[in-house]
Amino acid sequence: MPTRFEIGDSVRVTRNVRDDGTYPGADVGELLVRRGSVGTLIDMGTFLQDQIIYTVHFLEVDRIVGCREEEVIGADEPWIPSIYESRDRVVAAKILALGKDHSVPLGAIGEVLRVIRDGEAPIYHIHFDCLPGRTLAVPESALISLREAHHV
C-alpha cells in the first residue's frame, strides 16, 4: 500500500488526538496531542488492511501516538489554526441572516460539523439547533464557544 510520508518526515496533526482507551496511563477522551502540533514519523503500519497508521513522536509533549494518514499533513504544508473543531458546541456571536425569511438569532447554540481551511481564515460548517436540517458556513468571527458564552 503506497504511503504519503516516509519514516523521519515531519508531519502536522490536523485534529486533536484523544485517548481511545489504548494510551497507557491516560483516561479515555483525554487530550494527548493538540491539533497543529508537529511530530516526527517513526513507524508506519496498517489497520484493517486498508488504513495507513503512522506512529508519530510529538517531542514537544513527549508523546508517541498513532495517527491515520488523513489526520496528518506535511509540517511545511500550509496550516490555518482554528479555535474550534468538529463536535465543538458554539454560540452565534451575532445575528446570522439567511435572506429575509430566516436567520440565526444572537445566542443560538450550534455544533461544528466540519472545519474548512481553504482560505485565509477557517470557515465552519455549523448546525444550529434553531434550524433543524440546515448546515451553515460561518466565519470564526461570528462564533464564541458555548463555555465562553456561559461566562459572559
Quote the pTM value.
0.67
Give tens-digit pLDDT for 51-82: 888 999 999 999 999 998 888 999 998 888 88
Give residue 150's pLDDT. Answer: 67
Domain assignment present for 50: yes
∠ CA 117-122-127, nearest 5°, is: 105
Domain assignment present for 38: yes
Question: Cβ distance 116 to 126 under 8 Å?
Answer: no
Domain assignment present for 83: no
Shared-domain flag, residues 69 and 94: no
CA atoms lying within 13 Å on the CB side of residue 125? 10
Structural domain for 119, as ranges: 89-150
Of 52, 75, 61, give the one whose Cα is nearest residue 23.
61
Q: Which three cell numbers stand for residue 67?
A: 495517527
Shared-domain flag, residues 21 and 51: yes
Shared-domain flag, residues 105 and 70: no
Domain assignment present for 3: no
Mean pLDDT of the chain: 88
Give tens-digit pLDDT for 113-149: 988 887 788 899 999 998 888 899 999 999 988 877 6
